[in-house]
Homo-oligomer: A and B are copies of this chain.
Amino acid sequence: MAAPATVGVMKAARSFASDNNASIHPAVLKAIAAANQGHTVGYGDDRWTESAIRRFRQIFGTDCEPFIVFNGTAANCLALKWLTQSYEAVICSEGAHIQTDECGAPERFTGCKLLPLPAPHGKLTVEAVAHAYHGIGDQHHVQPRVISITQATEVGTVYQPEEIGELAEFAHERQMFLHMDGARIANAAVNLGLGLRQISRDLGVDALSFGGTKNGCMGAEAVILFPQKNRHASSSGEKPGHNFLFLRKQGMQLASKMRFISAQFDALLSDNLWRKNAAHANRMAKLLERELRRIPQIQIVYPVEANGVFAKIPRRCIAKIQQRYFFYVWNEEDSIVRWMCSFDTTEQDVKQFVKFVAECMAD
């Protein structure tokens, strides 16, 4: 993604640059304030963390192991590290966040090579993965151990349950693991009309990066580890998450005042706030898509299934729109831009934005 030369404070109240440009949901901020009472033990031995873990287990099963971390890159890297040895490899799409936007942190932290594959609409297929699965047992080659998928994908599409199930099956038959980068898992669940567990653990996901930050939190991500399906792992007889505490600390991801991150999850996972926020963001993206389709110079390039709209627009308009609205050019060569909606995007935001975009086209 290429940012314009001068970035800075938004000119408009709410932009479409990224769901992490959004604010904190009032209920989340309130929960932080409410946790601000007296002293409590640090590093996770507090009742807010206890409560957040309880909520994760209500959703994902009592035998899962949730670990709170600071950001999404860390959630991905720690999950991958937990699933791999340094001489193994992680199969992902060529547009995966772990491949393109984490400055090599996955390689640096795990030692593994990433094997990026072409992925139409951002989705890995069993066919593509099978192609990359070779060199097994050959000491000269990295050994594929994890398939990592992003749900919803980086281009705003959503894996269907059977697509995930097939990848899980492929993985487990070969003693591999399935990792899901769920930075926007809530948006995917809303799109599919299914529960969080139904679209991850129940389909065979072994480790999940669960995102809160893009869905109304101030900064809250988690790694959720599930009892593993593959023979390689289960034979160790250890419960999921065994020793993950040390990986988190050594990975510089242990918060001392953890209660203030946990309280965010506590709020997000209460009263279906995660679902309401994501549903709203998805709805706004559909509205944005509908409105944009009325502009003939604009071509929507991926199915709008989550909270992002990817559009091919006339190159000459990009800078003009960016004068008022900061956003990222997704693909410079093809003049494709990315516009994201958030829990706090309003219908009026969308309409004003599209009106301005249309004006820029018209000039």
Contact = CB atoms under 8 A, between A and B. Distances in A.
Contact of A218 (B2, B72, B107, B257): B257
A272 interface: no
Given A17-B39, A38-B10, A87-B246, A213 B104 contact: no
Given A113-B104, A252-B74, A213 B257 contact: yes
B103 A111 contact: no
Interface in A66-103: 70-74, 77, 85-89, 100-103
A89 B104 contact: yes
A58 interface: no
A85 to B, nearest CB: 7
A154 B18 CA distance: 41
A348 interface: no
A41 B10 contact: yes
Copies per complex?
Answer: 4
A23 B36 contact: yes
A87 B17 contact: no
Most buried by B among A10, A103, A143: A103
Interface string A34-71: 00111111110111000000000000000000000011
Given A74-B252, A105-B249, A139-B246, 11 more contacts: A8-B46, A24-B257, A43-B139, A72-B256, A73-B254, A87-B249, A87-B250, A134-B332, A139-B248, A235-B236, A235-B237
12 contacts: A8-B45, A18-B42, A18-B256, A20-B257, A87-B247, A103-B139, A104-B113, A105-B251, A111-B250, A139-B249, A219-B256, A252-B252
